[in-house]
Structure 1
Amino acid sequence: MSNRRTFLKKTLASTSLLLPAGLIPACSQSQDTAQGEKFKPLILSTWDHGMPANDRAWKVLMETGDLVSAVEEGVKVTELDMENLSVGLQGLPDREGIPTLDASIMKGDGSCGSVAFVRQVRHPISLARRVMEETPHVMLVGEGARQFAIARGFPMEEEVLSPKAEAAYQEWKVESQYKPIINIENHDTIGMIALGADGKLAGSCTTSGLAFKMHGRVGDSPIIGAGLYVDDEVGAATATGLGESIIRICGSFLIVELMRQGRSPQEACEEAVRRLIAKNAKDIKDIQAGFLAINKDGEYGAFAVQKGFTFARHQSQGKDLLQAGYKM
């Protein structure tokens, strides 16, 4: 497996895209020292692969001012990353050897769309946006989502595993046992949330789901309120990790509602982790889940069950990869 979970300590050269080096915050900055910081605009996304995704999203936002296009185009980078085994058609398959994808997108005015259990679609996030903008529905799944994609002109990709996924699948079939291992690419995603200079919010989430899952399994990523929730009046949140544990607490909606009640983004993420642990106590040693949040004022927070959750932050003064705090 890739070692992309290792916390990256970037040099100033890696952040020269946004501002002169002297103004760029150090990547080694801890989450604790970031409390109270406010940024507009601001883009956050999960894990190390959030850095190139944020690069693209920031570029789109700066060029167009279109927050929804920014969060869509950003995660499309990850959907095409052949080194990533947790997002996109190159991701690890289900136990039948078939990659199936989930995605969601949401605006702060409540508009949202999602797709789940989709086959052969290279960019499920773009299909989710079409559901949001071109149908009266919120979610399409399975064959219905695939038919909608065909009707909208999405090319159907050949259903062949990527070389890395094929090798992992053949290895798994020797014993055909499912056991999650935290912080590796069998239960991750990319979730991205963004705040514009005008105070508007948007978010996106896309994944290939659990490796070697039962055929038909759907995780938290396409479920509005679980893997993603956005409200212009309050803020936005997204989740990553073992989807079943996140669904059980409606994690992203919970965080936004806690912020509505006056909690900071960091406090809300920490409370969500505490509730997740309480609901999954029996198996918690084998569970990783992490949350990101932004409020409408530009404050942000991040927290995880276990050590190892990283997140990417892009704002006007620079970009960096940060290590989230954790409970256990």
Structure 2
Amino acid sequence: MYSRRKFIASTTVAAAALSTGFKRLIAAEKLPAGIKPIVISTWDEGLNANQGAWEILNKGGRALDAVEAGVMVTENSQNCCVGLGANPDRDGFVTLDASIMDENFNCGSVAAIERIKHPISVARKVMEKTPHVMLVGQGAQQFAVSQGFKLEPLKLSDDAEKTYKNWLKTSEYKPIVNIENQKAAPAKLGDKYNHDTIGMVALDANGNLSGSCTTSGMAFKMRGRLGDSPIIGAGLYVDNEVGAVTATGQGEDVIRVAGSHSVVEFMRQGLSPREACKKVVERVAKIKGAKAKDIQVAFIALNKNGEHGAYALQKGFTYSVCDKNNQKQLLKTSSYFDNEL
């Protein structure tokens, strides 16, 4: 007969088992042995940006701090045209977009912001200091100033001014595939740096993921045009249970498929980072049809275990990796039209 004493004893054992199991579950959520901090970012310029992030990750710092510091390196650069040195829109104004997301689904972004050197830092302030996710245009600028950001002079950089004047001769809007990659950029003045993006995702020593993305958008775009970079779920997405993803290329087509979020969802189903990126690129190719050969779209992904991968529509896309064992690594990726790997 099942007595009250036996019932109490059995429930006590069960409770102990549940308690032990719960402890094991918590322990299992930590990174597997041997996994180290890692940061990956888009394009060749990511090599420099990664070093800014690695200075924080290597000291046990938070991934969120790392991805902000990393892309700030690129925003400071006058070479790749992310930031105030970028080419303007067709009306002659430089407008910047940025987004950031942490391990707790907190996120912030700014779009079409002008005269602010580090839009990524304003995006973080939006995340931490407001009840909103995105601020745009004049409102974003006003918020930045209220948070202590300096308004920079309303002036094009020397290179951007020359490029813009050259572009005005034809006023042709024709984005060039892989223009973000300086090595692939044509030498003809006016074609260089038609658009640029630096996207970064990182995993820290505590096993937490974060991501960031900052861009000047398409050069010579229509006033008010917005791409994918500041849109959470399109240009950037982080799910700390699964992985983190960022995008580059023609933003309109990343938006169409909620690109970064879609890659994360494929990883949730068990696909590797590379295969998840490939699935979404294939979706873009199907939607665009014959026009797919005229654009570039690419994704980089990092999963919870520190595994990374990427895939692009066109060949020539590269991404940069930094970890303790290989602090400067530039990787070529497979592509939909020219599967070279």
Q: TM-score range by the shorter chain?
A: 0.7 to 0.9
Distance 2:289 2:215 in 1: 25
Asked if 1:284 corresponds to 2:287, the answer is no
Kindly report which structure 2 residues correspond to 1:1-328, keeping only aligned pairs within 5 A, or say none.
39-63=35-59, 65-85=61-81, 87-184=82-179, 185-319=193-327, 320-328=329-337
Distance 1:150 1:283 in 2: 42
- Matched position secondary structure for 2:92: coil
- Aligned match of 2:19: none
Pairwise CA distance, 1:282: 3.8
Structure 2 letter corresponding to 1:277: A
Distance 1:115 1:280 in 2: 28
- Matched position secondary structure for 1:301: strand
Contact 1:188 1:242 (C-alpha < 8 Å) held by counterparts? no
Pairwise CA distance, 1:187: 3.0
Contact 1:39 1:299 (C-alpha < 8 Å) held by counterparts? no
Deviation per CA, 1:181-226: give whole Å up to 9, x if none.
1111223300000011221100000000001000001100000000
Distance 1:299 1:213 in 2: 36
Distance 2:201 2:79 in 1: 23
Contact 1:187 1:243 (C-alpha < 8 Å) held by counterparts? no
Structure 2 letter corresponding to 1:224: I
Distance 2:47 2:118 in 1: 19
Contact 2:37 2:57 (C-alpha < 8 Å) held by counterparts? no
- Aligned match of 2:13: none
Deviation per CA, 1:209-265: give whole Å up to 9, x if none.
001000001100000000000011100000001100100111100000111111111
Deviation per CA, 1:299-323: give whole Å up to 9, x if none.
1111101011111100110121111
Contact 1:114 1:139 (C-alpha < 8 Å) held by counterparts? yes
- Matched position secondary structure for 1:318: coil
Q: Radius of gyration: which is bigger?
A: 2
Contact 2:60 2:205 (C-alpha < 8 Å) held by counterparts? no
Question: For residues 288 and 129 of structure 1, do their structure 2 counterparts lie closer, same or farther at Cα, with a shift above 3 Å needed?
Answer: same
Distance 2:102 2:326 in 1: 25
Pairwise CA distance, 1:66: 2.0
Contact 2:273 2:302 (C-alpha < 8 Å) held by counterparts? yes
- Matched position secondary structure for 2:244: strand
Distance 1:64 1:218 in 2: 35
In structure 1, runs of 5+ residues without a counterpart are 1-37
Pairwise CA distance, 1:70: 0.7
Structure 2 letter corresponding to 1:107: D
- Matched position secondary structure for 1:209: strand
Distance 1:291 1:305 in 2: 9
Percent identity for Structure 1 against Structure 2: 56
Structure 2 letter corresponding to 1:238: T
Matched positions, count: 290
- Matched position secondary structure for 2:105: coil
Contact 2:57 2:205 (C-alpha < 8 Å) held by counterparts? no
Deviation per CA, 1:55-104: give whole Å up to 9, x if none.
1100122235121111001000000111112x101011100010000000
Pairwise CA distance, 1:39: 4.6
RMSD across aligned positions (CA): 1.1
Distance 1:151 1:198 in 2: 33
Structure 1 letter corresponding to 2:335: Y
Pairwise CA distance, 1:289: 1.2
- Matched position secondary structure for 1:166: helix
